[in-house]
Amino acid sequence: MLGQLGEGAKFLAGGQSLIPLLKLRFANPEHLVDLNFIPGTSFIKEDSRALHFGAMTRHAEIEHSALAKKIPVLHDCAAGIADVQVRNRGTIGGSLAEADPSGDWANALITLDTTVHCLGPDGARAISLKDFIKDAYTTTLAYDELVTEVEVKIPPKGSGGAYLAFKRSAPVYPSASAAVQLTMAGDVCQDAAIALGCVGLMAIRATEAEAALRRKSLDDKTIAIAAEAARAAADPQADMRGSADYKRQLVVALVKRAIQIAIRRARGEQVEGAHLYA
């Protein structure tokens, strides 16, 4: 259908980003193709290796899903996005396709092995999330191609993660966010993934911070070294949400806290993680 309407048309998923952008005249498509009436596009399924989310699965459905809680980062992310009303409408597929640098899903999912399944007139393709988002508001999707499913590989046993964002109030985008996934063997970190959100044109993998944790026993000093490396990896812009230095300081605090929660979750503890409000 989008093929017939041409490049002036745009898909409408949950609309919680696109409709405000239309009102601001930042986007002015000639046609909108509403995806909300297509059956079978909202689901949460599990197989032996991964969780599968239909593109039109609402944040609220993921927040309340017992299956999604198996990967705590997903629950942290879904439960913290904006407010109840936005979570009732906004979708995981829409969030990734929008690729807003301040969006929550891309940053949380980039620390996991995530595949984005897409469909267009030329057929289906599966793209690793790290190759899917190219730049701010830019993905590899062709204009007539859409996301059908988000597949998240279940982390190995002994792995724990956390996603934390700092927001000035519930409905706004975070000022900064951090996602951490650690695979532990006792007190020693076997593998680490750390991603920073809202402090660059897209989610930033803090590879030096990850390296600072690998094969180390995670005491306070090691965690502090990793958090400082994350500060150096952040590339924030000063804006209404704060100065660049303020956001770097937020990154340090969020990464430390997320690492501490991830360590406890890797041990099998139930830890409530939540977005932080000013």
Partner 1 sequence: MSTVKRIAVNVHISVNGKPYAREVEPRMLLVEFLREACDLTGTHVGCDTTYCGACTVLMNGLAVKSCTMFAVQADGSEITTVEGLEKDGKLHPIQQAFGDSYGLQCGYCTPGLMLSAHQLLSESPEPSEREIRKAIAGNTCRCTGYMNVFKAIELAGRNMKRA
C-alpha torsion 103→106→108→112, nearest 10: 180
Among 91, 145, 96, 142, smallest CA distance to 116 is for: 96
Alpha-carbon distance of 8 to 27, in angstroms, equals: 10
H-run or E-run covering 54: strand 50-54
Distance CA 105, CA 55 (A): 12
Phi, psi of 57 (to 5 degrees): -70, 125
> In this chain, which of 43, 45, 135, 171 binds partner 1, going by CB under 8 A?
171
Interface mask toward partner 1 for 21-60; x: CB under 8 A: --x--------x-x-x-----------------------x
d(CA 179, CA 195) in angstroms, rounded, equals 5
Nearer to partner 1, 35 or 194 (CB): 35
User: Is 169 an interacting residue with respect to partner 1 (CB under 8 A)?
Assistant: yes
Tally of CB atoms within 10 A around 276: 17
Candidate residues 11, 13, 16, 174; the one interacting with partner 1 per rule CB under 8 A: 16
Q: For partner 1, which is the closer residue by CB, 16 or 91?
A: 16
Q: Show the site string, 126-165: x = touches partner 1 by CB under 8 A, - = not.
A: ----------------------------------------
* Residue closer to partner 1, measured from CB, 83 or 131: 83
Q: Cβ atoms within 10 A of the Cβ of 189, count?
A: 24
Identify the residue among 52, 89, 130, 216 touching partner 1 (CB under 8 A): 89
* Nearest residue (CB) to partner 1, 98 versus 151: 98
Give the sign of the dihedral formed by CA 136, CA 137, CA 138, CA 139.
positive
Nearest residue (CB) to partner 1, 132 versus 173:
173
Using the minimum distance from each CB to partner 1, give the nearer residue, 16 or 115: 16
When asked if residue 20 is in the footprint of partner 1 (CB under 8 A), the reply is yes
Q: Does 238 bind partner 1 (CB under 8 A)?
A: no
Measured CA distances, 231 to 46, 51, 119, 264 (Å): 36, 32, 38, 23
170 binds partner 1 (CB under 8 A): yes
Closer residue to partner 1 (CB): 32 or 142: 32
Q: What one-letter code names the amino acid at 70?
A: K
Asked if 84 touches partner 1 (CB under 8 A), the answer is: yes
Of 79-87, 115-123, 147-155, 157-165, the window that binds partner 1 (rule: CB under 8 A) is 79-87
SS3 193: strand
Q: Residues in the site for partner 1, rule: CB under 8 A?
A: 15-16, 19-20, 23, 32, 34, 36, 60, 82-86, 88-89, 169-172, 277
